[in-house]
Amino acid sequence: MRILVLSINYWPEETGIAPVVTSRSEYLASRGHDVTVCTTFPYYPQWKVDKLYHGKFWQHETRKGVEILRSWSWIPSRPNALKRILFEASFLADSLVRAFSARKPDLLLVVSPPLGLGITANLLSKIWGIPYLFDVMDLQPDAAVELGMLRSGTLLRSLYWLEKSAYENARLVSTLTEGMRRRIISKSISENKVALFALSADPELFLVRRGVDGMAFRRHHGLDGKFVVTHSGNMGVKQGLNVILDAAELSRNMRDIVYLLVGDGATRHDLEARAKTQNLTNVKFLPVLTRKQFLEMLAASDIGLITQQRSVADIVFPSKTATLMTVGCPLVASVNPNSEVARAVRESGSGVVVSPEDPDSLLNAITNLLDDPNKLAEMSSSGRIYARDHWDEQITLSRMESVFLGQLSDQNVDSDWKDIKASSSNPA
């Protein structure tokens, strides 16, 4: 099967959508499928093109059997709503041209966001006479409304029209969690048309030895003897990271606790400025890390944080949830109690859920775990067991491949969905 993937994010980006799309594409290639990815140059979460790709307009690469076709897009250094629209529009135009340089595929896999890729997918689908699958990683219009980024108006109506068109014209719509799936179905999309493609656990993370593999990282960053509370990944609006600085302010006299914020994103500059103004010496910022450093950081962390604004529930499922559980890092999730993240943390026993945007509750959970090493060890073990049971890549990715093949053999989508739903409900 020849598959063309359209995704704005791909390797070597280490956070957000990219690792998910990369692992899926490389798995399909390892299974003998001819996989090509149309993407832009790596920029996320720094919103700055990687120095290895500076000054390039087109580039062709091959990695682990996947052909990668990159094209230039305009990358804003300080993104806002308007700049994001212009950025995504530039990618839509360039990726469309780039797609025509690839051989005609049997199937299109289109990753959203950006939502506008539905237009590109529909056009290519009609020209080539092939189906497309629309893979939803983030419910963009709902997120914009619930985070207060957009209010009713022409732009919001246009986004919802784009979303509806993308769903209706797709052969199949897929997403990460059951909550996101229900949200899509509520938009008058047939239940039989919406499938669940769960995240996949990175097998290498199961091999990380907590504590031992993080000793060098601790020494290098002056963290020996400290209780390290880490947030890693994108620093954006949805994450609501000010709650961590609020907790740091409350605990500035607790010398054992250090808050580590690792990564980059649209709000990093403001967070660093606030930490400096308030002289929060118990907060350390680190840039996006290399793969080796990232694994060492995970091993060095006593607690992993997942924070979201209160309004975020079933519009997104951060991949760091699976990463932290797989590596056995106990979690404190400052999230909406009805969110998919909260459900997974409670169900797995991998951590505790506290009220979002509530620094007192966050700090209370951290200090309780600081004094309970047995509880931390129990959470670590439970997280890894849950990750192996629910996100084993050989199971999740083979289910995905079966659904892809089903679309090309004209099998009924209903039967495909029933198979994948049954497998997801009864993990091996």
Closest C-alpha among 223, 235, 288, 229 to residue 260: 229
pLDDT digits (tens, 9 = 90+) for 92-144: 999 999 999 999 999 999 999 999 999 999 999 999 999 999 999 988 888 77
Predicted pLDDT of residue 90: 94
pLDDT digits (tens, 9 = 90+) for 65-100: 999 999 999 999 888 878 888 999 999 999 999 999
The strand order across the sheet containing 172-175 reads 58-63, 66-71, 34-40, 2-6, 107-112, 132-136, 172-175, 194-196
Residue 145 three-state SS? helix
Q: What mean pLDDT, rounded, does the chain reach?
A: 90
Assess whether pLDDT exceeds 90 at residue 266: no
Quote the percentage of the chain above a pLDDT of 70: 94
pTM here is 0.86
Give the C-alpha separation, 428 to 53, whole Å. Answer: 42
pLDDT digits (tens, 9 = 90+) for 247-263: 999 999 998 999 999 99
Give the C-alpha separation, 82 to 101, whole Å. Answer: 30
Mean pLDDT in residue range 303-321:
87
